[in-house]
Structure 1
Amino acid sequence: MHLRVLLFAGLRERLRRDSVDLELPAGARVRDLLATLAREQPDLSASLSVCRVAVDHEFVAADHVIAEGSEVAVIPPVSGGHDGPAAYPLAAYQLIKDRPLALADVVAAVAHAGAGGIDIFVGNVRDRSRGHDIARLEYEAYEPMALRVMQQIGAAVEAETPGVRVAIHHRLGVLQIGDSAVIVAASAPHRAEAFAACRAAIERLKQDVPIWKREVATDGHAWVVQGP
């Protein structure tokens, strides 16, 4: 069975390519794929133990059997924090490349007559990280899966409390100091539920959505953030 395995963030940078081709026997499981990848690409072996595998845009366990023709991706830990009418259709979940995030759009996506409270989290690019002055951040995503997982997170948080609505907008591409990288809004009948839903959404996004950031310092150092 021939598989093309997609790579992201630090894995891609280490090999200087975004995929590798593997030959696996029919009926191979995820653990077999990772063992083969570690053997054939030893530069990745130390990192694979903290990675997850997605098959057809869903995280799967080590004993999952991979079918021929599946889209397979190795997902490093995803990035998180360290220490009026719109001109385009509103959507609760968006990955945005070509324009800044708009707070009003995210709020409008969750506002409704029963919402007595709307809580908002805005994550901005700061000017210092890991002892370095930062010049810019570069965000990338496994886009189809990222949107799917964002929607799943929103649906799960909404299902936990009646009346809650959640929206998540995330920037991709190059961001400068002060730019907003992510905005999460949650509405609910009462403020306590809105606070809890917003916090739950951003924490789950940091844990599960395949989005990574490359931090570029003013002194030329650069690194991919893997993990919250």
Structure 2
Amino acid sequence: MASTGRWTIKTHSPQGTVLCRATQYACMLLSYMLEHKTGREEVIMKLKDLEASMRSGRKLFRLGNMLHAFVSARHTSQLPDLVPRWCLTASNLNRVLYFMCDTVLWVKSVGLISDINKKKWRSRATKYYYYSLLINLANDLYELCWRMEHAARKEKLQGDSSRLQSLTSLATSGLQPLLLLLYITLKKHPPLLLDTVKNLCDLSSPLDLLGIYKTNPGIIGLCGLISSLVGILTVAVPQLRLKY
């Protein structure tokens, strides 16, 4: 695990889909914002066409994404810490299954095989994507708790126990000290903050598609755009990418 300092495995996300994804969600958000304004019908149609084109463009990177998820699963299966090893490997395997289902949907869309239940396979793909995000968030929570515990113990060893106590003590001493420790931890570890924000934003789409929490295209577009911008930032500045 990166936080332990014992072993670091770096996994790099595919970069080909980042701009397509950002453009797709930006178009979704803009078309939703213009939906109830008169005289904007032509602009909305162009935005929706561009959104569809970007969605189709991302399909071209399907094989690369699947291979990347499989390679990442092999790497994370070697992590020495039990929780991140199981969480990240399970997450990557779910991503592999998601891309496999997505490939089946692509085969259906281009007409190579017509006897495919599109609704069933789309539901499967969404579920695998949803499970992957939940597992990623569980790992982010584990990483955050580990770093908060480490920060609390460090401060206590330095004799500043009046400001920060151990994480167990903080949990029972009130909300304010715990929030202070959370703020300090995330401020010192931007990659963890960005990864958590990205995973939380990505949840909006599968939650809506699975009917767990229905929202609107504007919220999905905004969350997707934020997630995509975080992805672009971590590609542009590799130091901000969470590494294992």
Query: TM-score with structure 1 length normalisation?
Result: 0.26
Query: TM-score with structure 2 length normalisation?
Result: 0.25
Bigger share in strand: 1
Larger Rg computed on CA atoms: 2
